[in-house]
Amino acid sequence: MAKILAAMSGGVDSSVAAALLLEQGHEVVGAYMKNWTNEEGLPGDCPWEQDIRDARAVCDYLGIEFRILSLTEQYRERVVDYLLAGYREGITPNPDVMCNREMKFGLFREFAAAQGFESLATGHYAQIERHSDDSVDILRGAPGKDQSYFLALLRQEQIRPALFPIGHLPKPEVRLEAERLGIPVAAKKDSQGICFIGDIRMADFLAHYIPDDPGNIVTLEGRKVGEHRGLHLHTLGQRKGLGVPSNTFGKAYVVVAKRPATKELVVAFDETDAPGLYATRCRVGSISVTNRPLTEAQNILIQPRYRSAAIPVEVCFLDEETVELTCSIPQRALTPGQICGFYEGERLLGGGVFEEIHA
């Protein structure tokens, strides 16, 4: 029997994870990370108070202790400031990946260790594989809900105490488990939005902190078709929210380039012919490995975003933390700042940050 701290979000995934561990005979304590309370009055739904009530109700139902860990200042410094700095620089950061590295498996893990807990359990859809040398690997979770991509920047010391009790289960089975166990939040909808900030539109969130810097929306030929409020509000491959009508055949514009020097947002109808939207070469830096170092001899796959398929690549090491990748299949809308996950089969090897994209 192990002493385990279960990260409780108030949702069904973390609740079932805690309940399964308790059913297995472990000593479990639930804890909620209070990261964001929206004291600045941003538009959108930030349901942290309801989430705390739900998490407490689940712990009461399970008969386990419930704690609240306030990390609002640290969250602002390590996640929100990173997010805002990235958009100000014209790149596309990933706050969910950074939240996992800096908060859940960073400060929260450190708190668990200081309190004498042997393991930290979360409701991630990923799996843990332990080896005889005491090292640990992360494997993909159940098909259709795999969240290993969001763990790509974790290091070995962060992974070693981790437990993912529901990682092998498809989402419908987790719902069924919640019903079987009588979990109070069994029917609660999955949360949406920016990590722990809540259901807030990214454009509204950014508008509160970054002033508008308007410019023209132009075609590849240079014809003006509209205006935008700021390049930071748009990303390559974007179709919705441009404020530019479709053509007479109902075909929508897609963002194919951003020109910071002239503040122009470049759009096209036929994205297959748009230079720069599809890339076969890219540079990835700030490489982090989950267990063992990457090598050129490995059959490495990359996953450039959460829902994209993993593809084979050729790897050329520029230094210990930077690689140049040649993709076997041209990739759409790779963007500096995004996270690149590295895999070997089902095994997560680590990740890095896209720095430069080449056609």
Q: Are residues 45 and 170 in the same domain?
A: yes
Mean pLDDT of the chain: 92
- Amino acid present at 291: N
Domain membership flag for residue 321? yes
Tokens (6 digits) for 49: 């108070």
195, 282, 327, 340: the active-site residue: 195
Q: Are residues 80 and 193 in the same domain?
A: yes
**Residue 194's pLDDT band (boundaries 50, 70, 90)?**
low
**CA gap 14, 31 in Å, rounded:** 10
**CA gap 81, 193 in Å, rounded:** 17
DSSP element (H, E) containing 199? none
| Range of the structural domain that residue 37 is part of | 3-123+165-202
Domain endpoint, select from 182, 202, 222: 202
**CA gap 96, 129 in Å, rounded:** 23
**CA gap 33, 11 in Å, rounded:** 13
Domain endpoint, select from 273, 308, 325: 273
Q: Are residues 84 and 217 in the same domain?
A: no
Domain endpoint, select from 273, 300, 325: 273
46, 59, 99, 327: the active-site residue: 99
Q: In the predicted model, what is the mean pLDDT of residues 55-62?
A: 98
Domain membership flag for residue 144? no
Say which CATH number the domain at 301 has: 2.40.30.10
Domain membership flag for residue 21? yes
Please indicate whether residue 219 or residue 40 has the higher confidence score (pLDDT). Answer: 219
Q: Are residues 40 and 188 in the same domain?
A: yes
Q: Are residues 186 and 235 in the same domain?
A: no
99 flagged as catalytic: yes
Say which CATH number the domain at 256 has: 2.30.30.280
Q: How many domains does one find in the chain?
A: 3
Lowest mean pLDDT among 112-121, 162-171, 292-301: 292-301
Q: Are residues 283 and 184 in the same domain?
A: no
Q: In the predicted model, what is the mean pLDDT of residues 269-292?
A: 88
Q: Are residues 269 and 287 in the same domain?
A: no
Domain membership flag for residue 228? yes
Q: Are residues 306 and 238 in the same domain?
A: no
Nearest Cα to Cα of residue 358 among 277, 274, 271:
277
For helices 171-181 and 12-23, angle between their N-to-C axes, nearest 10 degrees: 60
Q: Are residues 99 and 195 in the same domain?
A: yes
Domain membership flag for residue 149? no
Q: Are residues 283 and 173 in the same domain?
A: no
Say which CATH number the domain at 170 has: 3.40.50.620
**Residue 199's pLDDT band (boundaries 50, 70, 90)?**
low
Partners of 312 in the β-ladder? 301
Domain membership flag for residue 145? no
Predicted pLDDT of residue 213: 95
Q: Are residues 172 and 81 in the same domain?
A: yes
Predicted pLDDT of residue 250: 66
Using a cut of 0.85, tell me whether the model's pTM lies above it: yes
Domain membership flag for residue 142? no
**CA gap 267, 263 in Å, rounded:** 13
Q: Are residues 24 and 78 in the same domain?
A: yes
